[in-house]
Structure 1
């Protein structure tokens, strides 16, 4: 069996959820959209089911997959619904939904429903992607109440720069949200992962932890006690030596400056490891630090074994996980941990409790 795999530590997932809930101090929806950021939505939901206050996904199909798997906790659709058929299905399966533009609001007013909804009214406090602005928030809230189809309304917003602790943007967004929702009944939800960790004034009734659940700290330079949930790993499948001046791999990007012992690893960009990482990107070989050399290809990559004489065929390679932080690999690739985790594919997911 090909040794490439993503090892998913469900105990670490529960640890991170508990940390988020404790830091927030109130209820928390575990965000498991995009197949739980590449970790497997159903397995992650089941691992959290005994203690999570609920879950959040992007769209209805993701919610229905969880319902079919026996998940009975509240599930929020962060994108809301796209047509009246989806709206009726959401009501039938007791799925909560965001309402963030006029067409969704009008859909609720005009669609017959089997059961009343729990609506999450989205406030645009400055991110300017979605949501109602200023006085339109109160108008939308009143229309939801008047529709007779909404049993509860939660007021929510989303932050653009909560992971930048020195920026004033988040404080300004909180002020705008509070001004737009003043006098309106309903729970409040402001805090994403970064706000849970860095903006206590954003912690209200409901938090929405996402990336922190999976152990990638969204606050730069801070030690928040998160545990890596995914370890992306493989093994050396072949070894060769190249001489000084010889090039390695596609494009000949890496040229040996000394006799170099090269380990060929069963992992490539088709598995989700980014092609854009440069030579020198950190890996761990049997727990020892080493580096990637040569360009990542579709199915394989190459690592430097020159200073690890005991390493050879079968040696374990950690691409990211407990020893190699996924944030560091993402920075080397010029992207963010969210993208790397969501792009994991083709490798098998192995779960441990």
Structure 2
């Protein structure tokens, strides 16, 4: 029998979440972000499930784009980080990719390129994220420069929101104000602003293209709201052994947990080599055969331990859900001091992914 650690992916939930994004931004085209192996969900099966529903896919790098093209994905593909060296432009040309341009070296490389056809360029505008992109005042000159090269088929402006998941912060309004001044000069160009929290919480950011990522997989990036998303990944495994411990006994590495009552412990086949966070705290909620329980003891490489004491029917083979439709991933992320994006993205290849359609 195979190791029971599983990530069950509900592709219909992903399609539902994409429809929700389209409903929220009906006048926008949808670029589904599937970088990082679709946030750990599997880029190829996710792209195949959405291919007839979205206008394009966003990936981080040419390796991710190549994987989708090799799998028969013909939708528009955008390299969100652009290219890193000029020699990538040959494959960008061959694969017919859109490119983000955020630095002068990329502009220069396009000007010098020998392309079979002009390419679509998404000019990155730094409106306050201060990570990638050109200052807004430099954009008009860059547009003229790229136009002179005659190697650009389409120009789209793109920026990234730094704090859209916090509706109380002024950051998003400040970014939009900086962008508004630029659009007075570039009103004829398509614009892309909204990430997942932008789609959900900031209608003013929807513009011509939305770029939902994590919301497609069912995690809500804005606390204390109920947007109607469906969880796409259920992370689960099974109890592979039982043990009884007495008051004062310790459990696992480093005496991380000490029992204060007689306990029945379940050993579960999941650990940090599977991508489950080693720093997950005692008391982290789990479900065992549909009943609430908690993690106890330190997460090790291949195993962790859960409390079976108050679950008399739990035994070897009992199913343990760590997040999914019954255990919200937002709760687990908060307890672990991280975000859902990290939790799903770090699930390793050792965890078998299964897909329902």
In the superposition, the TM-score normalised over structure 1's length comes to: 0.99
- 1:329 pairs with 2:332: yes
**Paired residue for 2:13?**
12
| Residue aligned with 1:227, SS | coil
Rounded to whole Å, the distance in 2 between the matches of 1:88 and 1:157 is 26
Report deviation, 1:316.
0.3
Aligned counterpart for 2:305 among listed residues 297, 302, 305: 302
Q: Is the 8 A contact 1:216 1:337 kept in 2?
A: yes
Q: What are the equivalent positions in structure 2 for 1:13-92 lying under 5 Å apart?
A: 13-25=14-26, 26-92=28-94
| Residue aligned with 2:177, SS | helix
Report deviation, 1:88.
2.2
Report deviation, 1:183.
2.4
**Paired residue for 2:270?**
267
4+ runs deviating over 4 angstroms: none
Report deviation, 1:240.
1.1
Rounded to whole Å, the distance in 2 between the matches of 1:50 and 1:289 is 39
Q: What are the equivalent positions in structure 2 for 1:1-353 lying under 5 Å apart?
A: 1-25=2-26, 26-184=28-186, 185-345=188-348, 346-353=350-357
Rounded to whole Å, the distance in 2 between the matches of 1:119 and 1:21 is 24
Rounded to whole Å, the distance in 1 between the matches of 2:251 and 2:32 is 43
| Residue aligned with 1:14, SS | helix
Report deviation, 1:182.
2.3
Q: Deviations over 1:114-139 (max 9, x none)?
A: 11111000000011101110320111
| Residue aligned with 1:313, SS | coil
Rounded to whole Å, the distance in 1 between the matches of 2:31 and 2:137 is 28
What is the Cα-based RMSD across aligned positions, in Å? Answer: 0.8
Q: Deviations over 1:62-109 (max 9, x none)?
A: 001100100000000000011222112112211001001111111111
Report deviation, 1:193.
0.2
Q: Is the 8 A contact 1:243 1:260 kept in 2?
A: yes
Unpaired runs of 5+ in structure 1? Answer: none
Q: Is the 8 A contact 1:292 1:304 kept in 2?
A: yes
Report deviation, 1:147.
1.2
Q: Deviations over 1:154-197 (max 9, x none)?
A: 11100110100000100110111121232223211000000000
Q: Deviations over 1:19-50 (max 9, x none)?
A: 11111222111100000000110010001111
Rounded to whole Å, the distance in 2 between the matches of 1:225 and 1:316 is 26
Unpaired runs of 5+ in structure 2? Answer: none
